[in-house]
Chain A
Amino acid sequence: MNDTFWLLTWIIFLPTAGAAGVALIKKESVETMRAFALAITFATFLLSIYLTWGVFDPTDPGIQPRAPELVSKAAGGFSSQEIAKQYGQRGVSTTWIPGWNIEYRLGYDGISVPLVLLTGLISFLGMVASWSIQKEVKGYLILYLLLETGMMGVFLALDFFLFYVFWEVMLLPMYFLIGIWGGPRREYAAIKFFLYTLFGSILMLIALLMLYFGSTGSGDVLPTFNILKLSAIGQGLIPNLAYSPAVQLTAFILLFIGFAIKVPVWPFHTWLPDAHVEAPTPISMILAGVLLKMGGYGILRIAFPICPAGAQAACLVLVALGVISIIYGAFAALAQTDFKRMVAYSSVSHMGYVLLGIAVWKLTDTGAADGSRFWLQGINGAMFQMIGHGISSAGMFFMVGVIYDRVHHRDLNKFGGLIGLMPLYGGIAIGLFFAGLGLPGLCGFIGEVFVVLSSWNYSPVLAIVAASGVILTAGYILWAVQRVYLGPEYKGPHPEAITPLTEREAFVGLTLLVFAVILGVFPNLLFSKMEKSTEQFVSTMDAGYQASIKPATTTAAITNTK
């Protein structure tokens, strides 16, 4: 119960407390409620900033915080294998349900910290954007804050059961946020979203139980939900305890489908266009900006480390799915006439890079690592892409929302000339769309190009196909920009409603654009935060795979990373 424990707990539950606070405010004082909720999200954002720059130690590859006995030893003093075995001493925990050995265990490392920060940022900006919500503001704010709790919890939980709970906690508010505050087909979209995710959750639950009951040997110890310990078992670091390759593969497939739905990976993606299109603007921002990342994070935090053998067996499929998502999403985006739907499909395409980067794990025929540094690059690229996409897609959805709030339609063929009518809006929007396009100097480029560069080592053919996405991406984004922002005059209904950007809107748009530029120009700001953790990830995975295919020699670690 140290300071960090409370810091993490506050990051997760401050929004919940805020929700309770909102509930106490009188229904009539809408502005007070909004301001209060905004203050809560801002405070959470500040806490996540404090976590990133004040608490988090980027030189330590493992999960933090460390137990006191580890602190004395220099952070770099452990090998990656040693770190992976410190599952009891890393993170903070307290008992939750002792009978099942369920813990309230939290922790962070270079993989989760950027995502926590992103969640804080997007939640805050989404709240600023929420002024456009007029209906049932109280309920909206309460659900919104609960949603933030769920998201933060997912990124900070280190107990699988806790993770699962937060995963579901996030689901319900989202269902109502889409179903009540959404567009015309909101109920359809909400149910589709809910069922899809629930389907994934159930698969995850099966895997969860499989891994849980497999996590005990002779029966004298309780099984565990501790993700770090489960990973150690999966990577063959605990003597006489291992998941067989078959178990790993089964569990991996179940987990992967669960997470892939969230990413979303083709062919599990069709909930996304509907959910994004029907959700109100701030919720679309959260969906695209944060929720999709939970899938990628789950793959990195759970599916891969616990099931290295399963992951390795599935890598080719994953890479192929990633590439298909990239190309298919881009093609589908090209065909849309609904502005928001086009942006939604662009998310499918961009998140394909995430999967591709995570999965370019190449081994030689003998199982030794082959070009681990390229996999490391792929994972870093994927992480960067998640953050970059969080910023650019949230920005793009916000930009769509801004114009939708004015003219109440989204037909790409009925816009035009907006840059003349709203120059500032047009400028910011084009900036953010180019960030999505992957223009150098903006955040989208770095993730995309590093992933693509890393993929040749895995499969030249798939790498070439993935690289061809740059043409299609340029195609659909430029075509949309042309139809919406360029041209002589606005062609749709309500031309009188087109007014310049409000200060609030300009703030959201400019903030996102500034982040897009900073990340695009100084990507090492982000890479330097996560490089140790991703290196740790790669080296333990390579060794873990070695160990798990040779159950007899449980700790035979062959590190061939550089």
Chain B
Amino acid sequence: MDPQTLQTTGLTLKWLLTIAWLLPLLGFVVELIGGGWVWGRYSKNAAYLSVMCIVTGFVCSFIALMTWGNATEWSALKDHGATHGTSHAEPSRHASGVDAHGAPKPAAEAAHGHDDHAKPVAKDAAHPAHDDHAKPAAAVHVAADHAHGTPHHAAPKVVFTGIFYRLAQFGSLDISLSYYIDSLTLVMFTMVTFIASCIHIFAIGYMSEELTDNYADHQVHTSHGHLHRPGRFHRFFSFLSLFCFSMLGLVLAGNIFQVFIFWELVGVCSYFLIGFYTERKSASNAANKAFIMNRVGDFGFLIGLMIVWTWFGNFQFGDLPAHGQTQPGLFSMVRGNDGQMKLHVPESGQAEVVFKNQDNHIQTKPNGEQRTIPYWLLVAAGLGVFGGCIGKSAQFPLQTWLPDAMEGPTPVSALVHSATMVAAGVYLVGRFYPMFTPEVLLVIAYIGAITLFLAATIAVVATDIKKVLAYSTISQLGYMMLGLGLGGWAAGLFHLITHAFFKSLMFLASGSVIYGCHHVQEMPQMGGLRRKMPLTAYTMLVGVIAIAGLAIPYVTLPGGEPIAFSGYHSKDAIVATALTYMNLNGHHLLFFLPLAGAGITAFYMFRLWFYTFAGEPRDKEVYERAHESPWVMVGPLVVLSFFAAFCAFGGEKGLLFKLLLDSEPASVPGGYVAQTEYLSQGLLNLKLPSHEAIHAKHDRAGTLALIMAFVGAGCAYLVYGVRWVNAAEIKQQFSGIHRFLVNKWGFDEFYDMLFVKPTHVVAGWCSAIDRVIFDGFLHASAKAAVKVSDWDRQFDETIVDGAVNTVGNWTFAIGRSLSVVQTGRMRNYVMFIAVGLLGIFALLIMFFPN
């Protein structure tokens, strides 16, 4: 592939994905306006438009994936051997990636941020041999170049990065909207648009009740009985479109700040969609809860952003041309091109991570010092960003919003709250992976393990069909987090994709059940429905088998992979990683929790299926009225069930896994061992498993997980299938545990007591301080001023005026008395004058004798 091809490929990918990204936004605007003022309540135009947008988006994404594959000659799919990452590069491809860099970019254009260049970055995986090549950091080229002919080279990872437009620039700080396209981006785009297309089509049927002027909402009681309102069909689809835009923007984002922007946007779409039935108090409460709990996570995210921003001065994931040279992205800064962090302990103090360039050279400040970040701050930044992921992916301890989010219409639950948005947290962990230290990964693993177990236990006792699926989603997200945290990068993301298919399938199937049962969601009112809605039942069964991770024992494909549905492969990959990790590090819970979780998962999922579809109907009335859904709804189920079954075909030798593996950060394949000299600096003595190590444990882990899954499924069959054991009796025997679980481990009450109420109390205080103290002080001063002026008045009136009056009176009195002497007789006056003169003279003589 020559540089020209690379560049055109980059441009093609950029535009294809941009179209796929922006079409739903256009759809949103048109649907909002058209639905509100043009089309009327009975029109399905909004739905058609949004389906058109997302299907076109899918087509674009798929073409993009194909373009990328053709341009890289599908090297990702070629067998890298059992030990990924050590096979040889194709020289032609490598060299071309280099030459593409050699093509200098016009600096001015790059600096203005509207480059039409896609900048391919060839990352040289797992080969640290470049340090010798002294090359000035200012050069345009990426230095991975010199190793053309060197053997033992992994295939370079091709990443296309570039800038859409600039948001702001402060000195050397630059924030832009940009893109970062690698195979993970492409797979996510294809998955999201495909599943969204299915769900959009399903929703045409599911939301058709909204096509009316008089929708009766039986869950809302007003003073005039049930609520009647105009339908809101178009509004639903416009929000769905807005969501797709936000979600695709999140995946396409080329920097962590942009991720944050779309992170919040998917959050607000989720808020609108959960609260779609705005009249329902429970819905608006759930929407608020979802948004606020996500904000708690985002608070952590923001802290992570602050650290990254302050220390790195950069948000870009990938390397970008800027000011005539290549500006290394965050990943290069932390890990160079070989995936390794370079630690450094200054004479006084704690370990630091040294910043590198994309060519693995050390970055220096103008004064010659190395640019570094304290290790613990990098850990804090990682934990902060992961905090956001905890919120978004409903991980412990912020998991409680997701079950409540089931207040939204079921297609929303399928799209937003299982397949895409909640997986964004996992996606971000995967995307931001090079920035995470092993300590952060350990936290991620523990959070994942706790979450998967906790949610699975609650799912066992939930009776609302959607709630079971919600807890199941939380639990599966926990698996993904666990996988990523253990160093199984591809395993975690593999599970993300497979889960998206089978969970959206199951949500849609549950939607079909709810639709068919006229909005009954409680499983105790169901039973035997497979006779009424066979397609829904059996597509659902596909999903159940997939998530439970069942496989046919002892039968394998030619490559050695077992015959199983998608969930088996991905969960197996995670459990294998867990087993390897445990063998390396201890931390036994990180293996046994997911193992137990595998059993519980199989149990509660089969419980759901038996409860709903098998046996005899529990509520005759519901059963009688139940019916299969129309094709517009069942069709997507069938399509999704196909992918839920076979999207991971071939397991770790299959197409999907290899595609993902192509984007794996360079640090992952070889594993990691903490360097002993830094252990005194607070680094944990952790080891991350290499691909070979995991591969060695794979069969054992797979067998264990499979046994657990069969045990779980078997128990469910005994209790709910043939009803050999009475569930009610078990419930009674363990009523304490049951209550505890039904109560969701008490998190809601606990948070209410610990956070919500105190917040309101403090809020009350602040308000009271204003009223009582500040205004009190103000009023007191005002009163004092009035009082003082009052005294002033008193003083004026009594003392000053009194004095004046007194003086006046005296004067008057004196005058009066003097008037006595004013006789009017001349001789008297002459006498006064004479006496006066004599007196004066006498005085003068007395004082001035001379």
* 0/1 string, B291-311, CB within 8 A of A gives 1: 110011011001101110110
Q: In B307-346, which residues have CB < 8 Å from any A CB?
A: 307, 309-310, 313
* 0/1 string, B750-780, CB within 8 A of A gives 1: 0000000001101111110010001100100
Q: Are A487 and B309 also in contact (CB < 8 A) when A335-B764, A380-B170 are?
A: no
Q: In A375-399, which residues have CB < 8 Å from any B CB?
A: 376-377, 380
Asked whether A190 is an interface residue with its Cβ less than 8 Å from the other chain, the reply is no
Asked whether A212 is an interface residue with its Cβ less than 8 Å from the other chain, the reply is no
The CA of A273 and the CA of B771, in the complex, are separated in Å by: 11
Are B760 and A527 in contact, with the CB atoms below 8 A? no
Asked whether B169 is an interface residue with its Cβ less than 8 Å from the other chain, the reply is yes
Are B299 and A468 in contact, with the CB atoms below 8 A? yes
Q: Are A562 and B299 also in contact (CB < 8 A) when A420-B229, A453-B309 are?
A: no
The CA of A455 and the CA of B309, in the complex, are separated in Å by: 10
Are A336 and B767 in contact, with the CB atoms below 8 A? yes
Are A332 and B766 in contact, with the CB atoms below 8 A? yes
Are A531 and B170 in contact, with the CB atoms below 8 A? yes
Q: Are A487 and B171 also in contact (CB < 8 A) when A332-B766, A336-B767, A471-B295 are?
A: no
Q: Given A373, A419, A478, A489, which contacts B171 in the complex, CB threshold below 8 Å? A: A373
Asked whether B134 is an interface residue with its Cβ less than 8 Å from the other chain, the reply is no
Which among B80-88, B160-168, B431-439, B531-539 touches the partner chain?
A: B160-168
Asked whether A467 is an interface residue with its Cβ less than 8 Å from the other chain, the reply is yes
Asked whether A486 is an interface residue with its Cβ less than 8 Å from the other chain, the reply is yes
The CA of A450 and the CA of B170, in the complex, are separated in Å by: 10
Are A441 and B265 in contact, with the CB atoms below 8 A? yes
Asked whether A250 is an interface residue with its Cβ less than 8 Å from the other chain, the reply is no
The chain B residue with its CB closest to the CB of A416 is B279
| B-side contacts of A470, CB under 8 Å | 295, 298-299, 302
Are B168 and A380 in contact, with the CB atoms below 8 A? yes
Asked whether A523 is an interface residue with its Cβ less than 8 Å from the other chain, the reply is yes
Q: Given B168, B172, B307, B775, which contacts A524 in the complex, CB threshold below 8 Å? A: B168
The listed residue with most B CB atoms (<10 A of its CB), out of A335, A531, A535, is A335
The CA of A529 and the CA of B229, in the complex, are separated in Å by: 48
| A-side contacts of B281, CB under 8 Å | 487-488
Are B220 and A488 in contact, with the CB atoms below 8 A? yes
Asked whether A192 is an interface residue with its Cβ less than 8 Å from the other chain, the reply is yes
Q: Given B220, B265, B762, which contacts A331 in the complex, CB threshold below 8 Å? A: B762
How many residues of A sit at the interface, in one of the four size bands?
Answer: 35 or more
Q: In A399-415, which residues have CB < 8 Å from any B CB?
A: none
* 0/1 string, B262-295, CB within 8 A of A gives 1: 1011001001000100111100110110011001
Q: Are A335 and B760 also in contact (CB < 8 A) when A419-B278, A453-B309, A468-B299 are?
A: yes
How many residues of B sit at the interface, in one of the four size bands?
Answer: 35 or more
Asked whether B555 is an interface residue with its Cβ less than 8 Å from the other chain, the reply is no
The CA of A423 and the CA of B292, in the complex, are separated in Å by: 24
Interface of A is mostly: helix
Are B295 and A474 in contact, with the CB atoms below 8 A? yes
The CA of A523 and the CA of B313, in the complex, are separated in Å by: 19
| A-side contacts of B765, CB under 8 Å | 331
The CA of A464 and the CA of B299, in the complex, are separated in Å by: 8
Asked whether B519 is an interface residue with its Cβ less than 8 Å from the other chain, the reply is no
* 0/1 string, A426-447, CB within 8 A of B gives 1: 0000000010000111000110
Q: Are A479 and B766 also in contact (CB < 8 A) when A270-B774, A468-B299, A471-B299 are?
A: no
The CA of A468 and the CA of B264, in the complex, are separated in Å by: 15
The chain A residue with its CB closest to the CB of B296 is A471
Are B167 and A334 in contact, with the CB atoms below 8 A? no
Q: Given A267, A270, A452, which contacts B306 in the complex, CB threshold below 8 Å? A: A452
| A-side contacts of B220, CB under 8 Å | 488
The CA of A523 and the CA of B775, in the complex, are separated in Å by: 39
Q: Given A371, A446, A489, which contacts B310 in the complex, CB threshold below 8 Å? A: A371
Asked whether A374 is an interface residue with its Cβ less than 8 Å from the other chain, the reply is yes
Asked whether A225 is an interface residue with its Cβ less than 8 Å from the other chain, the reply is no
Q: Are A457 and B310 also in contact (CB < 8 A) when A380-B168, A488-B220 are?
A: yes
Q: Closest CB-CB distance, A187 to chain B, in whole Å? A: 13
* 0/1 string, A354-385, CB within 8 A of B gives 1: 00000000000000000111101100100000
| B-side contacts of A376, CB under 8 Å | 170-171
Asked whether B261 is an interface residue with its Cβ less than 8 Å from the other chain, the reply is yes
Q: Given B262, B284, B307, B766, which contacts A487 in the complex, CB threshold below 8 Å? A: B284
Are B310 and A374 in contact, with the CB atoms below 8 A? yes
The listed residue with most A CB atoms (<10 A of its CB), out of B260, B271, B279, is B279
Are B172 and A489 in contact, with the CB atoms below 8 A? no
Q: Are A487 and B278 also in contact (CB < 8 A) when A270-B778, A440-B260, A440-B261 are?
A: yes
Q: Are A489 and B168 also in contact (CB < 8 A) when A331-B766, A467-B303, A470-B295 are?
A: no
| A-side contacts of B264, CB under 8 Å | 439-440, 445
Asked whether B223 is an interface residue with its Cβ less than 8 Å from the other chain, the reply is yes
Q: Are A485 and B306 also in contact (CB < 8 A) when A440-B264, A468-B299 are?
A: no
Asked whether B700 is an interface residue with its Cβ less than 8 Å from the other chain, the reply is no
* 0/1 string, A528-562, CB within 8 A of B gives 1: 00010001000000000000000000000000011
Asked whether B222 is an interface residue with its Cβ less than 8 Å from the other chain, the reply is yes
Asked whether B837 is an interface residue with its Cβ less than 8 Å from the other chain, the reply is no
Asked whether B815 is an interface residue with its Cβ less than 8 Å from the other chain, the reply is no
Asked whether A417 is an interface residue with its Cβ less than 8 Å from the other chain, the reply is yes
The CA of A452 and the CA of B299, in the complex, are separated in Å by: 11
Asked whether A482 is an interface residue with its Cβ less than 8 Å from the other chain, the reply is yes
The listed residue with most B CB atoms (<10 A of its CB), out of A192, A434, A441, A453, is A453
Q: Closest CB-CB distance, B786 to chain A, in whole Å? A: 12
Q: Closest CB-CB distance, B696 to chain A, in whole Å? A: 44
Q: Are A474 and B763 also in contact (CB < 8 A) when A377-B170, A420-B229, A464-B303 are?
A: no
The CA of A44 and the CA of B444, in the complex, are separated in Å by: 57
Are B307 and A456 in contact, with the CB atoms below 8 A? yes
Q: Given B167, B171, B774, which contacts A535 in the complex, CB threshold below 8 Å? A: B171
Asked whether B36 is an interface residue with its Cβ less than 8 Å from the other chain, the reply is yes
Q: Are A456 and B310 also in contact (CB < 8 A) when A524-B165, A535-B171 are?
A: yes
Asked whether A183 is an interface residue with its Cβ less than 8 Å from the other chain, the reply is no
The chain B residue with its CB closest to the CB of A195 is B782
Are A524 and B166 in contact, with the CB atoms below 8 A? yes
Asked whether B443 is an interface residue with its Cβ less than 8 Å from the other chain, the reply is no
| A-side contacts of B305, CB under 8 Å | 453
| A-side contacts of B292, CB under 8 Å | 471, 474-475, 478
Asked whether B723 is an interface residue with its Cβ less than 8 Å from the other chain, the reply is no
Are B268 and A372 in contact, with the CB atoms below 8 A? no
Are B770 and A434 in contact, with the CB atoms below 8 A? no
Q: In B760-806, which residues have CB < 8 Å from any A CB?
A: 760, 762-767, 770, 774-775, 778
Are A467 and B770 in contact, with the CB atoms below 8 A? no
| B-side contacts of A524, CB under 8 Å | 165-169
Asked whether B679 is an interface residue with its Cβ less than 8 Å from the other chain, the reply is no
* 0/1 string, A332-350, CB within 8 A of B gives 1: 1111100000000000000
21 A-B pairs, CB-CB below 8 angstroms? A270-B770, A270-B774, A332-B767, A373-B313, A376-B170, A376-B171, A380-B170, A440-B261, A441-B261, A452-B306, A453-B306, A455-B306, A456-B306, A470-B295, A471-B292, A485-B278, A486-B284, A524-B166, A524-B169, A527-B167, A527-B169
Q: Could you tell me which A residues sit within 8 Å of B by CB distance?
A: 192, 267, 269-270, 273, 328, 331-336, 371-374, 376-377, 380, 417, 419-420, 423-424, 434, 439-441, 445-446, 449-450, 452-453, 455-457, 460, 463-464, 467-468, 470-472, 474-475, 478-479, 482, 485-489, 522-524, 527, 531, 535, 561-562
Top-3 shortest CB links A-B: A373-B171, A334-B763, A335-B767
19 more contacts with CB within 8 A, not counting A373-B170, A440-B262, A489-B227, are A269-B770, A270-B775, A331-B766, A332-B766, A335-B760, A336-B767, A371-B310, A374-B173, A380-B168, A419-B278, A420-B279, A440-B260, A440-B264, A456-B307, A467-B303, A486-B279, A488-B220, A524-B165, A531-B170
Q: Could you tell me which B residues sit within 8 Å of A by CB distance?
A: 36, 165-173, 220-223, 227, 229, 260-262, 264-265, 268, 271, 275, 278-281, 284-285, 287-288, 291-292, 295-296, 298-299, 302-303, 305-307, 309-310, 313, 759-760, 762-767, 770, 774-775, 778
